[in-house]
Amino acid sequence: MVDIARPGLARRLDRAKTAAVATMGIKVRALRDAGHDVVSLVLGEPDFATPANAIEAAHQAALRGDTKYPPYDGTRALKEAVQRQFRRDHGLEYALDEILVSNGAKQILFNALMATVNEGDEVVIPVPCWFAYTLMTRLVGGEPVLVSCPQNNGFRLRPEDLEAAITPRTKWLMLNYPNNPTGAVASRAELAALAEVLLRHPHVWILSDDMYEHLYYSEERYATLAEVEPRLRDRTLTVSGVSKTYAMTGWRIGFAGGPKDLIRGMGAVQGHATAGVSTVGQAAAVAAMDGPQEGVAERTAIYRRRRDYVVDALNACPGISCHRPEGAFYVFPDIAGCIGKTTAGGRLLNTDEDFANALLEEQHVALTHGAAFGMSPYLRLSYATDEASLAKGMERIAAFTHALR
């Protein structure tokens, strides 16, 4: 991680660091600019196109003059589409003033933390986790409390570990299934066990980040916390968006359902920062969410095939052991068997970051090291990448690991 604090900048930036994914992105660009053929398995961004009906809806919205300042909390059309989606997928009912639309789920998370966290408040974050939770928590003056979720429990949070992490200062618990970076999914029974703990601690709010809810490979439907335990509904913020499900990362549309007062506070933060969200983006999101859903199932089947290919290829590499996750488009292989070894180029691998840097320099494959997500020695690979690049990447990782001594 790179420190972004500079003289003249606010002290709060001392607490924030540049994310490892962004740092890796800069290195990839530099190598590509120098003419190298780099395979990047870094970004959590679908390689598919946005559905044509969504693009058409944005076009039509612009043509009919839907180009003025939008309401700060979301257009009525999109909030109604969000209502329908929560009802359809989870049987959850939210009134229009219990829904907020933001510039991506990322802004939803920032609004929520900014609106609620006072200096020193604690945010319980199961790790491995998406780096943004810890960075944002620090930025708003909170204290991340990291709870390890080891692989022997499928990278899922255990009720006893949650219980031990909660203090009188706990403000939030961040839940994220299917998970970035592990792809882990919690079952209804596992969520119910976590809910039992949470019911004993009424001061704790829960953010259920369901960004990958539709990228789910088991037959069972993905259940979210507020649906599993309705008694937690009034202190749960259920977050989702169109970025991953509909390959719409660039449209910047995310949304949440939650208690009215929290939504109002989050809306106030957003109103001061960015005001509303692009009108044409919101029109596109309505079309994607209300339109034909076959494309989602087709892409999920493709991701599933890629997952199996990547897991098998990694498990054939000496020193790497990879689980087979149930959701999202990431794998999080254990590379303990590579630590302490030396690469063909003479680099000693003491850490997973050493592995990621050496792999990039010697084989031109970019991925993110586990420490950036709070657990070592692991790697995160995104398989939201075309099959030819994945095959090339896997061949190079095999060559790299076979050469370790």
Ligand X SMILES: Cc1ncc(COP(=O)(O)O)c(C=O)c1O
Footprint of ligand X on this chain (CB under 6 A)?
44, 104-106, 130, 176, 180, 209, 211, 241, 243, 249, 254
Residue with nearest beta carbon to ligand X: 104
Strands 254-257 and 236-241: antiparallel
* Phi-psi region at 349: left, alpha or beta (left = phi > 0; alpha = psi -120 to 50): beta
Which pair of structure tokens corresponds to residue 110?
A: 């920032």
- Taking the complex as a whole, the smallest distance from the CB of residue 36 to ligand X amounts, in Å, to 26
How many CA within 13 A on the CB side of residue 378?
24
H or E segment to which residue 255 belongs: strand 254-257
Question: CA–CA distance from 283 to each of 52, 53, 79, 241, 402 (Å)?
Answer: 13, 10, 11, 14, 50
Give Cα 227 to chain centroid, integer Å: 21
Nearer to ligand X, 181 or 333 (CB): 181
Q: Which is nearer to ligand X, 109 or 117 (CB)?
A: 109
Give the pairing of strands 365-366 and 236-241. unpaired
Which CB sits closer to ligand X, 180 or 343? 180
CA 335 to chain centre: 22
**Shortest Cβ 303–ligand X spacing (Å):** 15
In the complex with ligand X, the residue whose CB is nearer, 180 or 401, is 180
- The torsion angles phi and psi of 381, rounded to 5 degrees, stand at -115, 130
Residue 281 CB, shortest distance to ligand X, in Å, is 11
**Which of 128, 241 has the CB closer to ligand X?**
241
Choice between 176 and 363, CB closer to ligand X: 176
Q: Minimum CB separation from ligand X for residue 207, in Å?
A: 10
Phi, psi of 293, deg, nearest 5: -105, 5
Quick count: other Cβ atoms within 10 Å of Cβ 8?
Answer: 5
Residue 47 vs 209, nearer CB to ligand X:
209
Tell the smallest beta-carbon distance from residue 296 to ligand X (Å): 16
CB of 215 to ligand X, least distance (A): 11
- Closer residue to ligand X in complex, CB, 186/320: 186
DSSP 3-state of 52: helix
What is the rounded distance in angstroms from the CA atom of residue 194 to the CA atom of residue 130? Answer: 20
Whether the Cβ atoms of residue 348 and residue 331 lie closer than 8 Å to each other: no
For ligand X, give the closer residue by CB, 104 or 258.
Answer: 104
C-alpha to C-alpha distance for 272 and 356, rounded to whole angstroms: 40
CB 381 within 8 A of CB 356: no
Which amino acid type is present at position 219?
E
What's the min distance (Å) between Cβ of 286 and ligand X? Answer: 16
Q: In the complex, what is the shortest distance from the CB of residue 256 to ligand X, in angstroms, rounded to a whole number?
A: 11
Ramachandran angles phi, psi of 134, nearest 5°: -70, -40
Q: Smallest distance, Å, CB 106 to ligand X?
A: 3
